[in-house]
Homo-oligomer: A and B are copies of this chain.
């Protein structure tokens, strides 16, 4: 025996660097679907190594597990990404990254304009409602505003 009965969860953990508990959690979230052997233990395909690599990379890009699952589910036939799939998915990653970089850069530039302004009274400040992290919980405007500490002869910042 031991022809091709798949990888144990421990083997998968060793080869990905993930904790066994994390792999079980990913299964619970629907990211991987191992089968069970006669004794009820999980057995994984080698392709699951690539699926997990994909998950780990996508997390670095800031995707949540449901989003990652959506990307994996979106593959025809629910297969693990091939080279061609990966190229396609990568473009999505690139777009997401570009957006984040742009947002942060704008934030930084606004900050540069604000340094020395001192106006934490922000109705007119460039940092007012910076569009990033907006409406994080749908909890209302969450606008930034302070009192006017003193008349500010400040710039447009």
Contact = CB atoms under 8 A, between A and B. Distances in A.
A115 B87 CA distance: 5
B17 A118 contact: no
Interface in A30-53: 46-47, 49-50, 52-53
Interface residues of A, number: 60
A106 B86 CA distance: 19
A61 to B, nearest CB: 7
Interface string A117-150: 1111110000100101100000111111111010
Contacts of A57: 120, 122, 127, 144
A111 B83 contact: no
Copies of this chain, complex-wide, total 2
A60 B94 contact: no
Interface in A78-109: 81-84, 86-87, 90-91, 93-94, 97-98, 100-101, 104-105, 107-108
12 contacts: A16-B145, A17-B142, A17-B143, A17-B145, A83-B116, A84-B118, A87-B116, A87-B118, A94-B108, A100-B104, A101-B101, A101-B104
